[in-house]
């Protein structure tokens, strides 16, 4: 083959990308072709009078004999979005591959000329490498927890249910803070919201006045503690203990199932340590969320925002929940470095999903198809060119599946 023909031939990586793109396109189209009840809706088609012909028209074809019938014409509408979670997963992995490759090239250039790399520069690089995954996890967790608190319908039903179970909180407390943000529960005014927390006060044998926003400005933090007493620190310790036990009973059986294949004392010890570490992470996650709420409501917020009704309204109108959301994800630092990257890559697609509607117009589905195919092509091409660049469990799976 001549040198000119070699130059004209496309690189192997580009050929692999195009091949993966076509395969991913066909695969996602196959998944999108299936109609499911959750993305199908039967609606009444409104009858519109045509200004030119004065005849009724609608999106559905009407039988002239039924024009006088009181029945409204109906039509079935199909929505897109069924494969959105899969697309966001592919986008996350593709971005991880791209930024990882760029960072790797940057570090290689820096190390090639060590004389220009200062001690501060090396320290900065080390911090970025060490804290990127925890920061991504913390940011994603904050977005997910904020959505769970104020817009739970944007989360998948099973995921929403799991977070609610882990949080173990009285729904009346959540509703009260939601109404504070919406402006229907206003401190210092009687807006008819007293029965909401008033019923909670009765159940916990607290003074009923604590639940009246016209009298209690703000409602005591003891209500947030739900029976653990007035101390925020004691409540945090109690939350950690309860959450650790709950998580341990969930993680230990799952880890033991893996040990049963080749049971030995070393594997059992490793399983117990792993279960304890994961339980401590989840316990700290829940504890930091609640203690963040307490920090904003009692420990720091009143000194910064004031103790008057206006300041308390701002704190309970979103600042306290936002503080808890910002803190909780940093519990990932209790996990080992290998788990951090897997968990960060796990939560990012779920966080991105909160920014998009769960279903959307079918006419716009082609955009999702293109994004999925391009992202999958990037991941597959990189898995073939440089297996180590695809991080986590997925990298190992693709290395085995795509191995020539």
pTM over 0.75: yes
- Give pLDDT, residue 8: 42
- pLDDT per position as a tens digit, 331-371: 999 998 888 999 999 999 999 999 999 889 999 999 999 99
Euclidean distance between CA atoms 275 and 246, whole angstroms: 12
Euclidean distance between CA atoms 404 and 393, whole angstroms: 19
Helix/strand/coil for 44? strand
Token pair of 89 as six digits: 């997963």
- Give pLDDT, residue 116: 59
Euclidean distance between CA atoms 238 and 377, whole angstroms: 48
- pLDDT per position as a tens digit, 21-44: 999 999 999 999 988 888 888 887
Contact predicate 391/129, CB 8 Å: no
Residue appearing with tokens 């930024």: 99
Q: Please check the confidence at residue 3 and state whether its pLDDT lies above 50.
A: no
- pLDDT per position as a tens digit, 191-223: 999 999 999 999 999 999 999 999 999 999 999
**DSSP code string of 147-167:** HHHH-GGGS-HHHHHHHHHHH
Euclidean distance between CA atoms 188 and 177, whole angstroms: 15
């Amino acid at each position: 083959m001549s040198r000119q023909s070699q130059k004209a031939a496309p690189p192997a990586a580009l050929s692999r990308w195009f091949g993966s793109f076509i395969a991913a396109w066909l695969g996602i189209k196959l998944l999108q072709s299936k109609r499911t009840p959750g993305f199908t809706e039967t609606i009444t088609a409104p009858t519109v009078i045509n200004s030119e012909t004065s005849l009724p028209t609608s999106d559905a074809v009407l039988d002239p004999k039924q024009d006088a019938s009181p029945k409204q014409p109906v039509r079935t509408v199909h929505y897109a979005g069924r494969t959105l979670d899969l697309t966001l997963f592919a986008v996350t992995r593709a971005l991880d591959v791209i930024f990882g490759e760029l960072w790797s090239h940057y570090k290689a250039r820096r190390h090639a000329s060590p004389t220009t790399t200062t001690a501060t520069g090396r320290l900065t690089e080390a911090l970025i490498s060490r804290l990127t995954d925890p920061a991504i996890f913390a940011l994603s967790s904050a977005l997910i927890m904020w959505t769970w608190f104020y817009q739970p319908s944007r989360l998948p039903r099973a995921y929403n249910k799991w977070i609610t179970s882990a949080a173990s909180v009285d729904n009346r407390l959540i509703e009260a803070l939601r109404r504070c943000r919406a402006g229907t529960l206003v401190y210092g005014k009687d807006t008819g919201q007293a029965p909401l927390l008033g019923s909670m006060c009765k159940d916990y044998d607290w003074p009923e006045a604590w639940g009246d926003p016209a009298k209690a400005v703000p409602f005591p933090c003891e209500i947030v503690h739900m029976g653990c007493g007035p101390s925020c620190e004691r409540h945090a310790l109690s939350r950690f203990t309860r959450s650790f036990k709950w998580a341990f009973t969930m993680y230990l059986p799952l880890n033991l199932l893996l040990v049963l294949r080749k049971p030995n004392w070393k594997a059992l010890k490793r399983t117990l340590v792993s279960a304890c570490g994961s339980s401590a992470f989840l316990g700290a996650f829940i504890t930091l969320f609640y203690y963040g709420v307490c920090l904003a409501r009692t420990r720091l917020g009143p000194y910064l925002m004031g103790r008057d009704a206006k300041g308390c309204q701002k704190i309970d109108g979103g600042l306290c929940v936002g503080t808890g959301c910002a803190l909780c994800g940093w519990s990932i630092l209790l996990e080992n470095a290998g788990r951090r990257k897997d968990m960060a890559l796990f939560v990012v697609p779920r966080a991105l999903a909160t920014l998009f509607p769960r279903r959307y117009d079918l006419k716009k589905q082609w955009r999702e198809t293109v994004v999925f195919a391009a992202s999958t092509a990037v991941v597959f091409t990189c898995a073939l060119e440089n297996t180590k660049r695809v991080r986590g469990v997925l990298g190992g799976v693709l290395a085995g599946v795509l191995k020539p």
